[in-house]
Amino acid sequence: MAFAYTEKVMDHFINPRNVGEIDNPDGVGEVGNAKCGDIMKVFLRVEEGILTDVKFKTFGCASAIATSSMATEMIKGKPIAEALALTNKAVAEALDGLPPVKMHCSVLAEDAVKMAIKNYYDTHGINYDAALFAGLEEEDDHGDLIMED
Positions annotated as catalytic residues are 36, 105
The one-letter code for the residue type at 70 is M
Buried b (16+ CB within 10 A) or exposed e, 124-141: eeeeeeeeebeebeeebe
Cβ–Cβ < 8 Å for 16, 66? yes
Q: Where are the beta strands (DSSP E) in 34-128?
A: 39-47, 50-59
Close Cβ partners of 146 (under 8 Å, ≥ 6 residues apart):
31, 111, 115, 135, 136, 137, 138, 139, 140
- Sequence-distant (≥ 6) Cβ neighbours of residue 99 within 8 angstroms: 3, 4, 5, 63
The DSSP symbol for 100 reads G
The total of other beta-carbon atoms located within 10 Å of residue 90's CB is: 16
